[in-house]
Amino acid sequence: MRHSIPRHTQQLGQQTQQRIIWKHPKILLFGIFAITLMLSFLSLSHAASEQNPKALLESVSVKMITALNENRAKIKTDPGLTQELIEKNLMPHIDFINASKEVLGQHWDTATKEQKIGFIKAFRDLLLNFYSTALTEYLNSHEGDLDPKLMEFLDPGAITSKQITVRSLVKPKSGKAVPINYEMNNTRRGWKIFDVSVEGVSVITTYKSSYANDIEQKGLDELIKTINTHNNKLKTAQNS
């Protein structure tokens, strides 16, 4: 992350994310995004709500890859298109409410309704802005179509709970496969992602650690304000 997030927050959140992103940039296509993944404004179809979580992730990843490949030329002249594709193909499958609860931890219980809504929106926008910017930069600096079969989702076995982990592997053309785990909840609108771990690094845990001291020292309202300021700067940078 860049710009206005406090330095000690940047060091944990930014360094952890950038280490993963720039070491394995194609992970942005699935795993990390499914982070940037969260708060669904669109309803899933009945078929999607009944879908096996592994099959759902496979479908979403292929749709996202296909959409990116079909719009590569347009993305070069219209960076905002990447964000539109993420909104359409990924965001409906992210559980931002539960993700926000996990990030705030004990502070969620003491937050007002307005604070909860404000944080969910700010956190969602932060992840969307950060990863859409990173993905656009990656697409514009690499040639050739993205391989829809780059990621292999592993069978989670018998589903006996409303919360499961779906494991996957990103298999680059060279080098070792990269493990990505998806934590998913079975909600009233089907299976949704609420956390992603890349090489053992949890997005939710990273942000929770980053924000804990800020909330203790300055309060939740100030954290929300800081995140929104950062989001505005990212949007301005994307449109410039």
Which CATH number do you get for residue 86? 3.10.450.710
Report yes or no on 38 lying in a domain. yes
The residue among 125, 151, 112, 115 whose CA lies nearest residue 26 is: 151
Report yes or no on 48 lying in a domain. yes
Report yes or no on 125 lying in a domain. yes
DSSP string, 3-16: TTS-HHHHHHHHHH
Q: Which two tokens stand for residue 50?
A: 């009944």
Q: What is the pTM of this model?
A: 0.76
Question: Residues 9-35: what's their mean pLDDT?
Answer: 45
Are 142 and 134 in contact by the 8 Å Cβ rule? The answer is no
Residue 96 has pLDDT above 60, yes or no: yes
Report yes or no on 182 lying in a domain. yes
Higher-confidence residue of 112 and 5: namely 112
**Residue numbers of the domain that contains 194:** 7-239
Give the model confidence (pLDDT) of 46-62 as tens digits: 344 446 899 999 988 88
Chain centroid to CA 125: how far? 10
Label the pairing between strands 151-153 and 178-187. Answer: unpaired
Report yes or no on 1 lying in a domain. no
The residue among 100, 91, 78, 105 whose CA lies nearest residue 38 is: 91
Residue 180 β-bridge partners = 168, 198
**Domains in the chain, number:** 1
Give the count of beta carbons closer than 10 Å to the beta carbon of residue 15. Answer: 12
Report yes or no on 106 lying in a domain. yes
Q: Is 175 left (phi over 0), alpha (psi -120 to 50) or beta?
A: left
Higher-confidence residue of 109 and 10: namely 109
Report yes or no on 2 lying in a domain. no
Residue 9 has pLDDT above 70, yes or no: no
The helix-helix angle for 203-218 and 96-104 (nearest 10°) equals 50
Report yes or no on 130 lying in a domain. yes
Looking at residue 1, its pLDDT comes to: 35
